[in-house]
Amino acid sequence: MSQTSRRSVFFISDGTGISAETLGLNLLAHFPGVEFHQVRMPFIDSVEKAHACVPTILKAAQDDGMRPILLMTFVNEEVSAEFDGVQALCLDFFKTFIGPLGQELGMQPTRGIGQGRKVVDNTGYRHRMEAVNYSLEHDDGASERHLSDAEVILVGVSRSGKTPTSLYLAMQFGVKAANYPLIPEDFERGCLPKVLEGHKKKLFGLTIRPERLHEIRTERRPDSRYAALENCRHEVRQAEQLMHREGIRWLDSTTRSVEEIATKVMQECGLDGHVS
């Protein structure tokens, strides 16, 4: 098989299909030689809708000259059965595991669609949305009120990755994450911003390679002092010295995704114990 073969992949679900896509993308990433053409088909919650998907799948098979891959999470077996006859590799993430799980627990699974995060009235969900609002209000030092409610306060120079990380912590994990910039004034004074002093245990630092920081800042403000490589070097060095002196745990965000950084922060700050 050639190294640049093309395969069509369909994420199909009677719910959002986000589980299928999250796990699916991770699986596909282990085959970097293949060019995957990926299509989402969410909310396929009736036999009719399933039936209507089939021509698109067959068309892809024809275009690729190979059978497509269907990555599925179906609660409704009657609907998923519509795909049984299709010439494709069908991997159903729910069907595979729900049986063994039910057997282990000694009970039948309920068959409501999208049970996962559908129930917006449950505490876990409201908690996540509150965390998102909190993180937005406490982005970039925007509000100093209620900092004591934060579960973690990210610090670092401008554009070191604090904002996406705090939003991801809130959205995925329901963690109230504030973030606070370290600016030249802090380095001159040689100490943390006063407002952070009472919260030292909750601080977590992000740093970044100056070369990458220069790139990111240049996209936003080309040819500025802010973006200049020399200034980036200076700021990063000062920030790292400050964090070191103050005993703040920190992490280099340069080669890490927001998912990885957020998960590391959870682990380092001991927020992993209980999943909400």
Question: Contacts with a copy of itself in 233-262 (CB under 8 A)?
Answer: 254-260
The answer to whether the CB of 154 falls within 8 A of the CB of 204 is: yes
Interface residue with a copy of itself among 12, 14, 16, 178 (CB under 8 A) is 16
Spatial separation of the C-alpha atoms in residues 187 and 165, rounded to whole Å: 23
Pick out residues in 96-155 that bind a copy of itself (CB under 8 A). Answer: 96-98, 100-102, 104-107, 109-112, 114-121, 125, 129, 132-133, 136, 139
Residue 22 engages a copy of itself in binding (rule: CB under 8 A): yes
| Binding track, positions 154-193, relative to a copy of itself; x by CB under 8 A | ---------xx--xx--xx---------------------
Which is closer to a copy of itself, CB of 19 or CB of 231? Answer: 19
Spatial separation of the C-alpha atoms in residues 184 and 157, rounded to whole Å: 9
Considering Cα of 102, then 106, then 107, then 108, what sign does the dihedral take?
positive
Which is closer to a copy of itself, CB of 192 or CB of 266? Answer: 266
- Any idea which residue has 């809130």 for tokens? 170
Shortest CB 263 distance to a copy of itself, Å: 4
Spatial separation of the C-alpha atoms in residues 146 and 157, rounded to whole Å: 22
Q: What's the half-sphere exposure (Cβ side, CA atoms, 13 Å) at 148?
A: 1
C-alpha closest to that of 202 among 137, 136, 268: 268
| Binding track, positions 36-55, relative to a copy of itself; x by CB under 8 A | -xxxxxxx------------
Which is closer to a copy of itself, CB of 161 or CB of 205? Answer: 161
